[in-house]
Structure 1
Amino acid sequence: MTELTETGIAGLDEILNGGLVSNSTTLVSGNPGAGKSILGLQYIYNGVERFDEDGLFLSFEENERDLREAAESIGFDNWQDHVEAGNIEIYDKQVLLRENDFSSSLELLLGDLNDDRYERLVLDSLAMFQLFFDSEREKRTYLLKFTDILAENDLTTLMTNEQGAVFPDTDVGLENFLTDGNIFLLQTPTDSGVNRYAWVAKMRKQDIDTDIFPMEIRKGEGIRIHENASAFSMMNDEESPL
């Protein structure tokens, strides 16, 4: 039987039939503001709060203070306590981008990547990660190397990536084929704001529901994915924090 890692995100584990495949790497794609970083924060936070699983958060875009403020704005009130206790270890952009090449940053990370204490990892985002490399071939080589290291050390990983197109099948990059799973977060504009959706397009070694489901971001909870549109339409009037 395939071992699974529950995300703790309402609706997502049901779509995944129990959770992410353990020791896998899943790509979370979407255009700006779709909720990718929030999903990553929530995945790490739920791991500590609900499943006694410590996590690593690698941010090439935000500093540690920005991450704390983002987590607390959603209602993850114990985020900083977990960071100070070492249950959540953060490598922010000030640390990761200090070196001129990814090999140097990887050397910096290896100690924690090899630490059996950590079971979850988020990399946010591949758009900044790829700035280390001069060619698509070099990016692919290092991405393969990095995902192999993560799997060897039993880390269940989410990587976020900017999706330029509204419809993902028109803008599929090489990284979609190098990861074990693909989750797309979609948003469409409306007169009153945006409608949000989640689509799990692929998950190796696992039967998944590949429908597109309505999604919302709620203060105090984070991301919630609805089983059907009628449930989505009955959500309360509390404003999204985004």
Structure 2
Amino acid sequence: MIELTKTGIDGLDAILNGGIVTNSTTLVSGNPGAGKSILGLQYIYNGVEQFDEKGIYLSFEENESDLREAAESIGFDKWPEFVESGDIKVYDKQVLLRENDFSSSLELLLDDLEDDKYDRLVLDSLTMFELFFEDETEKRTYLLKFTDILNNNGLTSLLTNEQGAVFPDTDIGLENYLTDGNIYLIQTPTDTGVNRYVWVAKMRKQDIETDIYPMEISWGGIKVHENASAFSMMSEEDSPI
């Protein structure tokens, strides 16, 4: 029996057939504004609030205060409380980027990564993480080392990645091969705003729904809906799958 970690995100666990494989690393890709950081915040927040699972949030892009404001603005009101209690451990860009190389930053993290009280981790984002490295070989070496550390210490992790195109690129990057799953967040412009979609392209060790599903970002975070026609006609009171 494969153990699964529920994201707690409405509709997403349904298309994952129960959740993400525990002790795996999943890449979450999308173009700017697609909702990658919100998904990461929600995954960590839900872990504490719904499942009593503590989490680590690594941000190479935001300060801790910015993360708190982002969490509270979407309805994750207990975020400061969870950080204060240690249920959520935040390393922000001021901490992670003050070191000159990734080895130094990793030394800061190791005690918490090896602490079995934490179950979940988010790294936001690989785009900034990769600025540590001078070439592809060095990046591959350290990314493989880092994912091995996460898996060896029982963390179920999400790594966000910037996707330049609106739709997933056909040029598959190195990070896709080093992770156990790939989730794409897609947004397309319309006359009145944007339409948002989620596509779970790969999850090792489990059957998944590989269709593209509509999603929305509103108060309370991300919600994934069963099909496009239901999404377009759904009122705010209706429930996602």
The alpha carbon displacement at 1:165 in A equals 1.3
| CA deviations over 1:54-81 (Å, ceiling 9, x no partner) | 0000000000000000000000000000
Q: How does 1:119-130 map to 2 (within 5 A)?
A: 119-130=119-130
Q: Which sits farther off after the overlay, 179-188 or 162-171? A: 162-171
Equivalent residue, structure 1, for 2:54: 54
CA distance in 2: counterparts of 1:207 and 1:193, whole angstroms: 33
The equivalent residue for 2:97 is 97
Give the aligned partner of residue 228 of structure 1: 227
The whole-number CA distance in structure 1 between the counterparts of 2:49 and 2:233 is 28
* Deviation (angstroms), 1:172: 2.4
Q: Which residue of 2 aligns with 1:207?
A: 207
Alignment of 1:145-164 (within 5 A): 145-164=145-164
- 1:229 maps to a residue whose letter is A
SS of residue matched to 1:46: helix
Q: 1:76-95 to 2 correspondence within 5 Å?
A: 76-95=76-95
**1:21 paired residue number:** 21
Gaps spanning 5+ residues in structure 2: where?
Answer: none
2:163–2:169 CA contact under 8 A, matched in 1: no
Structure 1: 4+ residue segments shifted above 4 A: none
Map of 1:189 onto structure 2: 189
**Please, what is the CA RMSD of the aligned residues?**
1.1
1:170 match: secondary structure:
coil
C-alpha separation in 2, matches of 1:144 and 1:235:
43
Contact 2:182 2:202 in 1 (8 A): yes
Partner amino acid, structure 1, of 2:60: F
Number of residue pairs aligned between Structure 1 and Structure 2 = 237
Looking at structure 2, the residues matched to 31 and 236 of structure 1 have their Cα atoms a distance apart, in angstroms, of 27
Q: Normalising by structure 2, report the TM-score.
A: 0.96
The runs of 5 or more residues in structure 1 that have no matched partner are none
Secondary structure of the equivalent of 1:169?
Answer: coil
1:107 is matched with which residue? 107
Scaled by the length of structure 1, what TM-score is found? 0.96
2:142 matches 1:142: yes
Paired residues of 1:5 and 1:156 also in contact (CA < 8 A): yes
2:37 maps to 37
* C-alpha contact (below 8 Å) 2:35/2:185 kept by paired residues: yes
* Percent identity of equivalent pairs: 80
Quick check: 1:164–1:171 contact (8 Å CA) kept in 2? no
| Partners of 1:218 and 1:45 in 2: CA distance | 16
Of 79-88 and 160-169, deviating more is: 160-169
